[in-house]
Structure 1
Amino acid sequence: MPSSPHQQCGAVRDADGYLPLEEYGALGDGRAVALSGADGSIDWWCVPNMDSAPLFDRLLSAEEGGRFAIAPDAPFRVTRRYRDDSNVLETSFTTDQGRVVLTESLNSGTAGRLPWAELARRVACTEGAVTLAVELRFSRRWDTVNPYLQRAGHHDLFHVGEVLGLFLRTDNVRVETMDDTAIRATVSLRAGEQATIAIVAGEAEPLVVPPIEDIDRRIDLSDEEWRQWCTRLRCDGEWRDAMVRSALALKLLLYSPTGAIVAAPTSSLPEGIGGKKNWDYRYAWIRDAGYTIKAFLRIGAWGEAKAALTWLLKRLGDGEPRVCYTVGGRAVPPPQAVDLPGYRGSQPVVMGNIAGGQHQHGIYGDIFETAGRFVACGNILDPASAETLSHLADQCADRWRLKDAGIWELDTPQHYTMSKISCWQALQRAIELVDAGQMPATCRERWSRERDRIAAWIDEHCWSEARGAYLMYPDAPCLDASLALAVRFRFDGTERLARTLDAIERDLGRGGFHYRYGGVEREEGCFVACTFWMVEARALLGQHDAARAMFAHAMEVLDGRGVGTYAEMIDPDTHGFLGNTPQGLTHLAIIQAIATLRGDAL
């Protein structure tokens, strides 16, 4: 049975045609993610993969962008919710004449992910009578393709570049107009009646034409598959529903063909409306993968953790480690501006990411922390992976004195404090893996010496007694909220870390949330994960009352603004979501905060 309504809204677009980001829910099938708006419009879907070009892109081009919209043709009120323990989404539209429920899913099959993309949408009338308008319009992919439609036997076939797809529906859906621009249809339902409308698509491959009845049944089958997955998680206890919902969000971000985990399935959603911080997050970061693997391990999602760790180690064994990769394991292309208006006029709109060409010391700590947690859960590293890790530990020991781009991927290389702590963390975990018999002991003594040198360097150069905190980098004028993670990493200097948390709260806290580092409040919102890192850090330091109060406030705000999938940032004044969504760092930080507050094993 579905859960109680999670959101009520008027589904009102602004004057330029954009919905607030918090009014989107996410659907996924292990290859891609679609964003469905509270007004019944699917405004983002990359086909067939998360980093493919979008089939629907209204999210970045309200007037001309591709969309798949189903909504009453009269004014309506909206209630939304995910089904319990599921990524199947329900939207209830109530008009003066009646009520319909839209149930939608990116479908899977009995044996797992389907070998084609299947977006299914069922509308069922529960009261009175309602007529719904349907519009299907395809992205022109920033004017690089011209979509076209044709009849193929009894089917309506569309071509968008290399993507071939079918518009399928039950007989009671009446097509009004169809041309190369759009398909428009209507469906009139009375209480007890329903209709199903679906898209089946693939890229440069033969296309299956499943019966619409089978597609409709797979909505409920997919729901059952999600619920079965949730039964295998270790999430019971306080805040169980919030933990499960975040686990489901993370599951959406795992690209099942390879085990890669994307940071978010969207591109160019602004960190500040009208600003220039608009990035493409549809790639797999070593950092985000490592943090997500640890969250999966903590809730007992062993298959996902193992798949993601295998992907990560294979990438590292291919040569010089990169900050991020495509979902297929290739180098991320440099950012390229594309000709779209951007969400609420925020420019530039980009595909690709500058981080693909950066170096971040944080990857060393992320890799070794992940391997360490994997082993601590009773698992075993293979000899090839152990050899790869040994080479990385040597590399870390050689390079830690260099400047890097830091966790926030900044343009100016610095001796970022968090980067040095990540190097300390990497060598400490390498030593622990040696002591656990999981890595060769050849260089243990050298790693131990360099670990101690890093700690001494940080204490000498990065601590400010005047500020009562570790600075973002030596002599920096600002603080860095990511230093809250150092508590979980078990970095030496508990007293100094406690004082740093207090300083972060004073300098970077705003309305119960936290900015990433000093000075960014003029151009972006608060970074949601930072708040939950602060919650976890205070709990680990024994400040349980403060941690619980901070957590309760943050979750109350988030729960009031969406259906349970959260963005990268939040405006601390309006509580509007900002940045790409759903954001993996946000959801994994929620899981870790809950587990720590409950006293669950690390």
Structure 2
Amino acid sequence: MDDRYPPIADHGLVGDLQTAALVSSRGVIDWFAAPRFDSPSIFGALLDCEHGGHFQLAPDHPEGSSKQLYYPDTAVLVTRFMSPDGVGEVIDYMPPDLTGVATDRHTLVRMVRVVRGTVSFELACRPRFGYGRAEHELDLGPEGALFRAPGISAHLQSTFPLERDGRDVRGTVTLNAGEAGSVVFTVCAPGGEAPPPPTVDSITAQHWDVVRFWKTWLRSSRYRGRWPELVHRSAITLKLLIYAPTGAMIAAATMGLPEQVGGERNWDYRYTWVRDGSLSVRALLDLGFVEEATAFVHWLVARLHDREGTDGEPLQTMYRVDGDPNLPEEILAHLEGYQGSYPVRAGNAAADQLQLDIYGEAVYALSQGRGIGRQATYAGWKAFTRTLDWLADTWDRPDEGVWETRGGRKDFTYSRVMSWVAFDHGLRLADFFRKPADTARWTRTRDAIFEQVMERGWSDAEKAFVQHYGGDVLDASLLLMPRVEFVSPRDPSWLSTLDAMDRVLVSDSLVYRYDPAASPDGLRGCEGTFSLCTFLYVDALARAGRLAQARYAFEKMQTYANHVGLFAEEIGPSGEQLGNFPQAFTHLSLIMAAITLDDALDDEEGR
């Protein structure tokens, strides 16, 4: 373990609904990109502790300990420091932008206060713009510091003195019990005016405004189940990962964090996957967050309109938050990667892959929000029917699959299952809205897909549905089959599949996506268990009536959450969190599993 890098899980997330930052329990902001989630980083020490840049605000005493928590029901993060001389706190938040308009101005606020004794805090602000590739200039005066880099600038203002440290800034402040201070880091366009100098009173008032915003938003939740803190923390996390100007949800707040420390599976997840966002619609609606679900559906329909009159696929796998389809992948060779996990990639070449399952998830999202669909225009319906007509011509071909493998195209069973979902739910929508569509052809195609999956997606050797035709590899993506109603959750063929997954993919309730050794994916190394799949496993167990097993797996999974209830993409062999953090897919599947399990337990108790 390289102690220059904190564990991935040793962070909380703050954000303003357009971008976000990670704050470690050491009081270090070591990931922040602005002005958008998918912008180049300003603080990126998680990817290179020497060259990435960071913003530290912590006691100067080498002894002591620290702990983090969220102010209840909010995205306001509190880092508490227990030192020999006293107890201090750093409170981090970003004021949410409520205009819904994309802006270049974003503010990180860091309040510092002492609640017992006397504590001296040290500040070190070392921005490294453009993933650490852009040089910056520093102007330091009585009103604070101004960092200027090509295309971007940032103001640093404080209620205590700051001094130059080369091209960076440092400062110290000693506070007694009851005293407080604040530091404000504001990113803006070049030449942007500095905000008013902060005062303790103005920052305190703003802090309570942010607290009220989050508490008011969370009151819309209609979840009344057994795990309110876990579910609501996941809901807040999803909200933090939604780009408010467009309603697009990113897959994770970070890029380049490894699925295996030292390995090459290091991807940029700061984009909007059609798959992830579409599945979030059901979770958001189940919790009562109709506005967020509606915004994503509108974003999704706009993507269908984007390709009208052009050849090729109606959708691609992912987009930038504004709908831009261009995500060229590059290697940032100057960054060593988290604990030496190289290469660090920006952009994502999987955007150009063929992944046929996304059409099933997209139509599933539209059908889950049928009330939302009442707002659809005739042009929107025509774009929808053109998409399904295209899929009717093209569904029966190999693709790269749900896991975005880079080992060549195959006839993936999950892709076929979700193509079936596209037609099954498309038919439901046509009937519900009484809109024109080639329903006879859609019905024939749906039934042909079903027959093909049942005949070619089944392995007699494994007595299970398998990853791709002609093989015996098990794949956890198929845990969604009962949720999307392709099979009954208690059908013998499904229960046999579930048993096979228990034997092969499940490790103490944690679930692997698949075995790369059995199904080469074009990449070196291995990965941890996939947290999304673990929650899908809980969901499938609950639907199958295996409630004791489902609840125990769900409760055990909670022990892998970090100290503030957040999950990364994967869990490693020693229980460590791996991959980009926090991951939307994990948190939305947690919500789905909790609701399914709650309903099943309620039914059992009612009986």
- Deviation digits for residues 357-392 of structure 1 (CA, Å, limit 9, x no counterpart): 111111110111001100168955332222221111
2: CA distance, partners of 1:438 / 1:541: 34
Structure 1 match to 2:183: 197
Match of 2:549 among 546, 553, 568: 546
Deviation at 1:58, TM superposition (A): 0.3
Deviation at 1:354, TM superposition (A): 1.3
Match of 1:534 among 537, 542, 545: 537
1:98-113 aligned at under 5 Å gives the runs 98-108=86-96
1:518 is aligned to 2:515 = yes
2:354 partner SS? coil
- Deviation digits for residues 396-436 of structure 1 (CA, Å, limit 9, x no counterpart): 21111111111001121110000000000000000111121
1:392 is aligned to 2:392 = no
Structure 1 match to 2:522: none
Structure 2 match to 1:562: 563
1: CA distance, partners of 2:484 / 2:97: 40
Deviation at 1:511, TM superposition (A): 2.5
2:130 partner SS? coil
Structure 1 match to 2:578: 578
The alignment covers a number of residue pairs equal to 581
Contact 1:99–1:130 (CA under 8 A) maintained in structure 2: yes
For 1:123, the aligned partner's letter is V
Contact 1:109–1:222 (CA under 8 A) maintained in structure 2: no
Deviation at 1:64, TM superposition (A): 2.8
2: CA distance, partners of 1:543 / 1:474: 29
Deviation at 1:438, TM superposition (A): 5.3
1:497 is aligned to 2:485 = no
2:222 partner SS? coil
Deviates more, 1:106-115 or 1:518-527: 106-115
Deviation at 1:243, TM superposition (A): 0.7
Structure 2 match to 1:287: 275
Contact 1:196–1:216 (CA under 8 A) maintained in structure 2: no
Deviation at 1:140, TM superposition (A): 4.5
2: CA distance, partners of 1:221 / 1:113: 20
1:422 is aligned to 2:418 = yes
Structure 2 match to 1:507: 504
2:593 partner SS? helix
Structure 2 match to 1:299: 287
2: CA distance, partners of 1:420 / 1:177: 60
Deviation at 1:153, TM superposition (A): 7.0
Structure 1 match to 2:473: 478
TM-align CA RMSD: 1.9
Structure 1 match to 2:265: 277
Deviation at 1:205, TM superposition (A): 6.2
- Deviation digits for residues 326-347 of structure 1 (CA, Å, limit 9, x no counterpart): 1121123221001201000001
* TM-score using structure 2 length: 0.92
Match of 1:66 among 53, 69, 84: 53
- Deviation digits for residues 487-512 of structure 1 (CA, Å, limit 9, x no counterpart): 10000363322211221121111132
Structure 1 match to 2:243: 255
Deviation at 1:145, TM superposition (A): 1.1
2:369 partner SS? helix
Structure 2 match to 1:345: 340
2: CA distance, partners of 1:392 / 1:112: 29
1:408 is aligned to 2:403 = yes
Structure 1 match to 2:111: 122
Deviation at 1:79, TM superposition (A): 1.6
2:90 partner SS? strand
1:334 is aligned to 2:359 = no
1: CA distance, partners of 2:204 / 2:574: 39
For 1:195, the aligned partner's letter is G
- Deviation digits for residues 258-307 of structure 1 (CA, Å, limit 9, x no counterpart): 11111011111000000110000011110011011221111110111111
1:564 partner SS? coil
Contact 1:471–1:479 (CA under 8 A) maintained in structure 2: yes
- Deviation digits for residues 104-126 of structure 1 (CA, Å, limit 9, x no counterpart): 10113676789520100111100
1:322 is aligned to 2:334 = no
2: CA distance, partners of 1:191 / 1:421: 61
1: CA distance, partners of 2:189 / 2:276: 28
Contact 1:47–1:203 (CA under 8 A) maintained in structure 2: no
For 1:527, the aligned partner's letter is F
Structure 2 match to 1:598: 598
1:82-101 aligned at under 5 Å gives the runs 82-101=70-89
2: CA distance, partners of 1:334 / 1:166: 31
Deviation at 1:88, TM superposition (A): 0.4
2:433 partner SS? coil
Q: Which runs of 5+ in 2 are unaligned?
A: 308-313, 519-524, 603-607
Q: Which runs of 5+ in 1 are unaligned?
A: 1-13
Return closer, same or farther for 1:439/1:581 CA change in 2, 3 Å cut-off: farther
Contact 1:165–1:207 (CA under 8 A) maintained in structure 2: no
Contact 2:252–2:269 (CA under 8 A) maintained in structure 1: yes
2: CA distance, partners of 1:110 / 1:348: 37
1: CA distance, partners of 2:553 / 2:141: 58
- Deviation digits for residues 2-23 of structure 1 (CA, Å, limit 9, x no counterpart): xxxxxxxxxxxx5451000110
Return closer, same or farther for 1:324/1:476 CA change in 2, 3 Å cut-off: same
Contact 2:102–2:245 (CA under 8 A) maintained in structure 1: no
Deviates more, 1:192-201 or 1:385-394: 385-394
1: CA distance, partners of 2:227 / 2:166: 50
Contact 1:286–1:366 (CA under 8 A) maintained in structure 2: yes
Structure 1 match to 2:588: 588
1:297 partner SS? helix
Deviation at 1:477, TM superposition (A): 3.7
Deviation at 1:158, TM superposition (A): 0.8
1:268 partner SS? coil
Task: Kindly report structure 1 stretches of 4+ aligned residues shifted beyond 4 Å.
Answer: 109-115, 376-380
1: CA distance, partners of 2:354 / 2:290: 30
1: CA distance, partners of 2:173 / 2:144: 18
1:209 is aligned to 2:195 = yes
* TM-score using structure 1 length: 0.93
2:481 partner SS? helix
1:348 partner SS? coil
Match of 2:367 among 362, 369, 372: 372
Structure 2 match to 1:169: 158
Deviation at 1:542, TM superposition (A): 2.3
1:59 partner SS? coil
Deviation at 1:555, TM superposition (A): 1.3
2: CA distance, partners of 1:273 / 1:289: 27
Identity %: 33
1:142-153 aligned at under 5 Å gives the runs 142=131, 144-151=133-140
Match of 1:487 among 475, 482, 495: 482
1: CA distance, partners of 2:111 / 2:98: 20
